[in-house]
Amino acid sequence: YRETLEETAWHVQPESVIGIYLWRHPIKRLTFLRIAFSAKTLQHDPDRVLDIGIELAEKYPETDPTYIHFVDLHRHVTELEDFDDDPKRSGEKVLEAIQAAWLDERD
């Protein structure tokens, strides 16, 4: 359920398993077990920081989010391809959460 919340900002109640899939990376020695399920939506959390940290880490790999100024962080976020929110809505609390998410992706 955590992955659904992180990816969509929706709290869900799983109802049934649709499929279980095993995937092996063709080069790396990694194996992934994926479980697809249907779920009932319970509650949306519109203030949740989603995958912005992942997107920022991929787009700006040379940038250390530890030392980024919030003005630059705000610009980076609003320049993301999928950004469709109100740029004026990103106060210090939101930017700190985005910075923390970006730091998590680097670790």
Task: Say yes or no to pLDDT of 101 above 90.
Answer: no
Q: Where are the alpha helices (DSSP H) in 9-91?
A: 52-59, 70-78
- In tens, the pLDDT along 2-57 reads 778 877 788 999 999 999 999 998 888 889 999 999 999 999 887 666 678 888 99
- Report field, pTM of the whole predicted structure over 0.85: no
Q: What is the pLDDT of residue 49?
A: 64
Tell me, what amino acid is at 106? R
Task: Say yes or no to pLDDT of 66 above 80.
Answer: yes
Q: Where are the alpha helices (DSSP H) in 1-107?
A: 2-8, 52-59, 70-78, 92-106
Q: What is the pLDDT of residue 107?
A: 66
> What is the C-alpha to C-alpha distance for residues 96 and 100, in angstroms, rounded to an integer?
6
- In tens, the pLDDT along 71-96 reads 999 999 999 887 877 888 778 888 88
What 3-state class would DSSP assign to 96?
A: helix
The rounded Cα 62 to chain-centroid distance in angstroms is 19
Q: What is the pLDDT of residue 50?
A: 62
